[in-house]
A = this chain, B = another copy of it.
Amino acid sequence: MLSERRLQVLRAIVQDYVGTQEPVGSKALTERHNLQVSPATVRNDMAALEDEGYIAQPHTSAGRVPTDKGYRLFVDKLADVKPLSRAERRAIRSFLESAVDLDDVVGRTVRLLAQLTRQVAVVQYPSLSRSTVRHVELLALAPARVMLVLITDTGRVEQRVIDCPAPIGEAFLADLRARLNARVAGERFTEVPRLVQELPESFDAEDRGTVQSVLATLLETLVEETEERLMIGGTANLTRFGQDFPLTIRPVLEALEEQVVLLKLLGEAGNSEMTVRIGRENAHEGLTSTSVVAVGYGSGDEAVAKLGVVGPTRMDYPGTMGAVRAVARYVGQILAEK
């Protein structure tokens, strides 16, 4: 077990390194933080921390740099989430409040996060799987062609075109629309399959085929769109990574372009608790020198989607976590009000 002072030393190393981006030495440490001991003592502590794998030297006779393990300890034990100032919180709220629709909310959230953290922001659209159906609309486009429009309580709209086995009448469509909505409006997506199960049987045999294909498309939309869309922003902040970056930045940009990767990344994050994945803790190859800070957000007490930031392992964790948490909270509020 590490002594109290050694933990302080580790904390100081992380803070300094995050600030300066340069390996930190024993002398600088004693000066900048008022540890009440001499550099020589700190050196002993650093040697111990290095033995335990919390810090490392880029090369002999250089200062120390935290390892992934060191950051992990720092985040778990040594750092508190840094709350935002009142002014910042007010700015966030008012910026998000002026959003006009869902796209705008998500877009503003991304920009906000990117700006606050000066890192890459990733925001998932509110998830369908936890939301409820507000309305299902059916529109005749052609005699045997129907457009299905699904509207959710989070304001999302999905549409599909359906080719029906037989021509359909306006009256029948109105009937189907009414019966469908009577069953599913206000219900959770997960409930829908059960609720519509027996619907075809209540129709005449000749119409059953059409009802079947409409229902099939509806269920398909629910499933497909549960895989979420997301929006990212702030990629320009990647240029602050370091000097060596063709090599560093490229795989990150590539990873960020793959929605699947990002979704998995956010997916691994806890719902209400903030999750921090540091360096190699990230499964994806290209993100081994980045950290991901993510958290769920939602309109009610339950999370409907996630958001977070991606940045270098050498990031200001308390500040980043504070910003992520605050933004998640306010987005949730805004969504609830809509």
A195 at the binding interface (Cβ < 8 Å): no
Q: Which chain A residues in 203-262 approach chain B with CB under 8 Å?
A: 229, 233-236, 238-239, 243, 245-246, 249-250, 253-254, 256-257
CA gap between A238 and B257 in the complex, in Å: 13
B257 touches A235 (CB 8 A): yes
| A235 surroundings in chain B (CB, below 8 A) | 235, 253, 256-257
A137 at the binding interface (Cβ < 8 Å): yes
Copies per complex? 2
A155 at the binding interface (Cβ < 8 Å): yes
Q: For chain A, which range describes its interface: under 10, 10 to 19, 20 to 34, or 35 or more residues?
A: 20 to 34
Closest approach, in angstroms, between the C-beta of A208 and any C-beta of chain B? 25
- Asked whether A257 and B233 contact (CB < 8 A) given A101-B159, A137-B137, A149-B151, the answer is yes
Q: Chain A residues in contact with chain B, CB under 8 A?
A: 101, 103, 134-135, 137, 139, 141, 147, 149, 151, 155, 157, 159-161, 229, 233-236, 238-239, 243, 245-246, 249-250, 253-254, 256-257, 338
What are 13 A-B pairs at a CB distance below 8 A?
A134-B141, A135-B139, A147-B151, A149-B151, A155-B161, A157-B157, A233-B257, A234-B257, A235-B253, A235-B256, A236-B253, A239-B249, A243-B246
